[in-house]
Amino acid sequence: MNNPTIFSQILKGEIPCDEVYSDELCLGFRDISPQAPVHILIIPRKNISSLKDAEKKDAELLGHLLIVAGQIANKEGLEDWRTVINTGEKAGQTVFHLHLHVIGGRPLEWPPG
């Protein structure tokens, strides 16, 4: 990884996380600054900076991340939830390692902000 991020450090085991899911393609863990009662981040083990850097060859991985988001939401007992991918600094991306937010457990307003 060219530019280490907090997520790459988590993947290497250098920083602990509250893990809720793990497989050969991704890791899911609780956000340290949750915006709702359930706020889980899902990160691919492959270093992709943001969604705009994903390539056609990443299609299967991207689909897997979405399926895992649904599995985690179900495991957390969520009937309704929001799945968010912030892409770029002006969109709210603060860690430049692709990640999905699974947010729920309270009513969520629209637009979000």
Residues marked as catalytic: 99
What the block records as the tokens of 113 is 């902000």
Give the DSSP letter of residue 13. Answer: T
Please, are residues 91 and 1 in contact by the beta-carbon 8 Å criterion? no
Residue 62: partners with Cβ closer than 8 Å, 6 or more residues away:
54
Which amino acid, one-letter code, is at 3? N
Which amino acid, one-letter code, is at 83? T
Please, are residues 78 and 108 in contact by the beta-carbon 8 Å criterion? no
φ, ψ (nearest 5 deg) of residue 85: -125, 110
